[in-house]
Amino acid sequence: MQNYSIFSLVKNAFSNHQNWEVAWKDPEPKKEYDAIIIGGGGHGLATAYYLAKEHQLTNIAVIEKGWIGGGNVGRNTTIIRSNFMYDANARFNEFGMDLWRNLSLELNFNVMFSPRGIINLAHSDAQMNAYARRGNSMRLNGIDAVLLNREEVKKYIPMADFSDDVRFPIFGGLMQPSAGTARHDAVAWGYARQADSMGVDIIQHCEVTGFEIKNGKILGVNTSRGNIKTKKIGLCVAGSTNLLAEKLNMTLPIETHCLQACVSEPVKPLLDGVVTYGAGHFYISQSDKGEMVMGGDLDGYNSYAQRGNLPTLQHVLTGGLALFPFLSRQKMLRTWGGVMDMSMDGSPIIDKTHIDGLYINCGWCYGGFKSTPVSGWTFAHTIAQDRVHELNSKLSLNRFTTGELLDEKGLGTKTWIG
Partner 1 sequence: MLHIKCPYCGLRSQKEFSYGGDANVKRPKLNAEVTDKEWDDFVYMRKSPKGHHLELWHHTSGCRQWIKVKRDTITHEIYQTAKIEEQIS
User: Interface residues with partner 1 (CB under 8 A)?
Assistant: 242-243, 246, 251-256, 300-305, 309-311, 344, 400-401, 413, 415-416, 418
End-to-end CA distance of the chain: 53
Tell me the three-class secondary structure of 297-313, residue by residue. EEEEEECCCCCCCHHHH
Q: Which is nearer to partner 1, 153 or 395 (CB)?
A: 395
Work out how close the CB of 93 gets to partner 1 at its nearest, in angstroms, rounded to a whole number: 23
54-231-375 Cα angle (round to 5): 40
DSSP symbols for 337-368:
EEEEEEETTSS-EEEE-SSBTEEEEE--TT-S
Chain length of the chain:
418
The three-state secondary structure class of 245 is helix
Q: Which is nearer to partner 1, 67 or 301 (CB)?
A: 301
Picking from 392, 248, 378, 261, the residue whose alpha carbon sits closest to that of residue 316 is: 261
Distance CA 345, CA 398 (A): 12
Q: Which is nearer to partner 1, 12 or 335 (CB)?
A: 335
Q: Which is nearer to partner 1, 20 or 301 (CB)?
A: 301
Work out how close the CB of 298 gets to partner 1 at its nearest, in angstroms, rounded to a whole number: 10
Q: Are 378 and 391 in contact (CB under 8 A)?
A: yes
Q: Which is nearer to partner 1, 201 or 299 (CB)?
A: 299
Q: Which is nearer to partner 1, 256 or 286 (CB)?
A: 256
Work out how close the CB of 340 gets to partner 1 at its nearest, in angstroms, rounded to a whole number: 11
Work out how close the CB of 243 gets to partner 1 at its nearest, in angstroms, rounded to a whole number: 6
Q: Which is nearer to partner 1, 80 or 340 (CB)?
A: 340
Work out how close the CB of 130 gets to partner 1 at its nearest, in angstroms, rounded to a whole number: 25
Distance CA 317, CA 325 (A): 10
Work out how close the CB of 315 gets to partner 1 at its nearest, in angstroms, rounded to a whole number: 9
Q: Which residues of 4-37 are buried (b: 16+ CB within 10 A; e: fewer)?
A: beeeeeeebeeeeeeeeeebbeeeebeeebebbb
Work out how close the CB of 6 gets to partner 1 at its nearest, in angstroms, rounded to a whole number: 47
